[in-house]
């Protein structure tokens, strides 16, 4: 605390005014430095508005304060001096100083004490205005502090909302990854594959059985054809025997006719029989020839028909088997291709999900910036508290400038503000604002003890 | 293998962020919003494999919490990590002297955090 006390320095009001102005300028600079420390932090717009207001008010208030302080000291020192002029204006019991009049006023011949009283009245009026305005600083800074707090609160709400949504997205991605991992090796999938493979094998076996059956049928057909041809050969042999018998019968009838002729009249009847036998023999032979021809034609017809039937059937079955076999092969190939494609798709989705999941988790980590911002805004609010406190003290000094006051030093406040910081960045901004270019070294982000 | 981890921080954002990162890695997470709440939870019987705490947290700061943890017989040797925005070297040394295991500066990315946990928690 800086004690503000009247002293016995022999300062004239003009010197007092000049000193007051200097103090005012210094105060302004300090306030601006204090505000400059804060504009590196979030909420800079609010702080700039507050800074402009505080700086302007501080200049005016400290000018008046400095002037009154030195006027007060001057009066205290000269009040009892002989020939001190009568007082025409008073503020809180303080007599107006006998200010040295400007040259023009002196030239006009006005009394110096009247000029001083007039100037004092004007200063007093301004002091009252400044005092009143200073009273509103607390309110103004309270508003700004609440706004900063609101920014912090809203940012936190938004950060939590973002985190909630990111968590939701991450959960869905994890579910999908788990599903893909499970689907690739699941019992259901394995069972489906096994059943499909078993069905394919069964179809192939069935096809082979059919083919074998057809081959067997073909062999049987050929065997039957052979049997038929054997039967035909037997029939031809029988027909040959019949024709042999006919030929012998014919020879027998011829001999009988000769013997009948040799027997004369007695053999006439026998000759008729021999003639009939001959006719029967020729008829039998002709019938045997006809049968033989019929059998030959039947053999040809049946052979052609049977061969055609077997051939056509085999051809049709072969084509059918080829179609079925090709279909099954294509089906198997397509199924393999589909399963392979499906596996590729699942692998791709799995990889993409992993790729997406990583930055989402990094985002969740980055949202922690909100806590950093919150702390920085807290320190800005702390700076506003300092300014509010100091403006209140200035107001008290102005309201009651005849007394001693303990006034906090701005430098002390700046130092206290420095103590509030926790981050190197804050301290570096602070140091840069007060002209200290020294940068604090940042330690390692991760350190194990 | 998942471990039991207690996170202590007065920021809901940090609690939520850290919980998401740790649960994603398979850890079981409990949290406390202050040093006092953490002490209460620990005295209530929670035996975490790791405590991760903020530094600045109102009345009881992270270093105070470390000291309290070290007083508890069952938790005397569990690792305690400080995760904070505080960057002063003096504070790090203070935390080390109090018995903290390590120091991480916010914001903490999941890879770095999980790597540190593997280093300080056996079997993690």
Q: Give B121's DSSP letter.
A: S
Mean pLDDT of A225-238: 86
For a pLDDT cut of 90, what percent of chain A falls above it?
15
Q: Is the pLDDT of residue A80 over 80?
A: no
Q: Is the pLDDT of residue A87 over 50?
A: no
Q: Is the pLDDT of residue A101 over 90?
A: no
**CA–CA min distance B9, chain A (Å):** 10
* pTM score: 0.62
Q: Which range (A179-193, A203-217, B63-77) has the least confidence?
A: A179-193
Residues 6+ apart with CB under 8 A from A319: none
Alpha-carbon span A192 to A189, nearest angstrom: 5
Residue B51, strand partner residues: B6, B80
Helix ranges restricted to H, A97-186: 103-108, 112-134, 137-185
Tell me, what's the pLDDT at A259? 86
**CA–CA min distance B44, chain A (Å):** 28
Helix (H, G, I), strand (E, B) or coil at B76: coil
Q: Which range (A307-321, A427-441, B7-21, B93-107) has the least confidence?
A: A307-321
Q: In angstroms, how far is CA A73 from the centroid of its own chain?
A: 73
Find the residue in A nearest to B108 (Cα). Answer: A365
- Dihedral of the alpha carbons of A116, A117, A123, A124, in degrees to the nearest 10: 150
Query: Quick one: which of A32, A62, A61, A25 has its CA closest to A48?
Result: A32
Q: Is the pLDDT of residue A75 over 80?
A: no
Tokens of A200: 């394919």
CB atoms within 10 A of CB A227: 10
Tell me, what's the pLDDT at A429? 92
Q: How does residue B115 score in pLDDT terms, banded at 50, 70 and 90?
A: very high
Q: Does B97 touch chain A (CB under 8 A)?
A: no
**CA–CA min distance B119, chain A (Å):** 9
- Mean pLDDT, chain B, integer: 94
Q: Give A91's DSSP letter.
A: B
Q: Which range (A6-10, A110-114, A219-223) has the least confidence?
A: A6-10
Mean pLDDT of A397-425: 86
Q: Does B120 touch chain A (CB under 8 A)?
A: yes
For a pLDDT cut of 70, what percent of chain A falls above it?
74
Q: How does residue A184 score in pLDDT terms, banded at 50, 70 and 90?
A: low
Tell me, what's the pLDDT at A186? 64
Q: Is the pLDDT of residue B49 over 60?
A: yes
User: What do you get for the CA distance between the two ends of chain A, in Å?
Assistant: 42
Confirm whether the ipTM is greater than 0.90.
yes
Contact flag B110-A440 (C-beta cutoff 8 Å): no
A82 φψ region: left (φ > 0), alpha (ψ -120 to 50), beta (else)? beta
Q: Out of B11, B87, B113, whose CB is closest to A443?
A: B87
pLDDT tens sequence across A127-154: 888 888 888 888 888 899 999 999 999 9
Q: Is the pLDDT of residue A362 over 60?
A: yes
Best of A152, A158, A165, A448 to disrupt the B interface (most B CBs within 10 Å) is A448
Q: Which range (A22-31, A203-212, A242-251, A387-396) has the least confidence?
A: A22-31
Q: Out of B14, B89, B120, whose CB is closest to A371?
A: B14
Q: Is the pLDDT of residue A103 over 60?
A: no
């Amino acid at each position: 605390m800086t004690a503000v006390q009247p002293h016995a320095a022999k300062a004239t009001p003009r010197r007092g005014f000049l000193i007051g102005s200097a103090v005012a300028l210094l105060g302004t600079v300090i306030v601006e430095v204090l505000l400059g420390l804060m504009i590196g932090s979030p909420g800079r717009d609010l702080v700039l508005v507050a800074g402009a207001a505080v700086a302007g008010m501080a200049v005016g208030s400290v000018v008046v304060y400095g002037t009154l302080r030195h006027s007060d000291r001057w009066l205290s020192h000269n009040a009892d001096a002989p020939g001190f002029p009568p007082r025409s204006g008073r503020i809180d019991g303080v007599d107006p100083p006998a200010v040295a009049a400007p040259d023009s006023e002196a030239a006009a011949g006005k009394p110096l004490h009247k000029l001083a009283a007039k100037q004092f009245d004007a200063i007093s009026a301004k002091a009252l205005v400044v005092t009143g305005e200073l009273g509103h600083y607390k309110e103004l800074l309270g508003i700004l502090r609440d706004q900063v707090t609101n920014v912090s609160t809203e940012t936190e709400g938004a950060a939590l909302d973002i985190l909630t949504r990111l968590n939701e997205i991450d959960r869905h991605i994890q579910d999908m990854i788990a599903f893909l991992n499970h689907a690739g090796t699941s019992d259901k999938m394995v069972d489906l594959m096994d059943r499909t493979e078993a069905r394919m094998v069964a179809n192939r076996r069935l096809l082979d059985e059919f083919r074998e059956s057809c081959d067997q049928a073909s062999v049987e057909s050929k065997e039957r054809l052979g049997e038929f041809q054997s039967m035909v050969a037997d029939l031809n042999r029988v027909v040959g025997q019949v024709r042999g018998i006919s030929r012998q019968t014919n020879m027998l009838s011829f001999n009988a006719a000769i013997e009948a002729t040799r027997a004369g009249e007695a053999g006439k009847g026998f000759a008729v029989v021999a003639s009939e036998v001959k006719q029967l023999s020729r008829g039998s032979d002709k019938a045997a020839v006809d049968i033989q021809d019929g059998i030959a034609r039947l053999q040809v017809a049946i052979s052609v028909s049977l061969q055609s039937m077997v051939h056509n059937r085999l051809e049709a079955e072969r084509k059918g088997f080829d179609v079925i076999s090709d279909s099954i092969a294509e089906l198997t190939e397509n199924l393999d291709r589909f399963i392979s494609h499906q596996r590729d798709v699942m692998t791709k989705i799995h990889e993409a999900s992993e790729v997406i999941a990583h930055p989402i988790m990094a985002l969740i980590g980055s949202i922690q910036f909100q806590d950093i911002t919150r702390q920085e805004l807290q320190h800005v609010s702390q700076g506003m508290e300092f300014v509010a406190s100091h403006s209140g003290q200035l107001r008290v000094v102005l309201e009651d400038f005849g007394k001693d006051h303990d006034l906090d030093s701005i430098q002390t406040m700046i130092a206290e503000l420095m103590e509030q910081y926790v981050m190197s960045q804050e301290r570096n901004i602070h140091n840069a604002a007060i002209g200290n270019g020294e940068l604090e070294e940042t330690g390692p982000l991760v350190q194990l003890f | 293998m998942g471990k039991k981890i207690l996170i202590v921080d007065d920021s809901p954002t940090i609690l939520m962020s850290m919980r998401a990162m740790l649960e994603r890695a398979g850890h079981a997470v409990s949290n406390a919003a202050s040093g006092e709440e953490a002490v209460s939870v620990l005295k209530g019987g929670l035996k975490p494999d790791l405590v991760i705490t903020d530094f600045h947290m109102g009345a009881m700061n992270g270093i105070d919490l470390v000291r309290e943890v070290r007083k508890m017989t069952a938790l005397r040797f569990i690792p305690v990590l400080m995760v904070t925005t505080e960057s002063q070297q003096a504070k790090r040394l203070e935390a080390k002297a109090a018995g903290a295991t390590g120091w991480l500066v916010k914001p903490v990315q999941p890879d770095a955090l999980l790597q540190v946990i593997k280093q300080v928690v056996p079997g993690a």
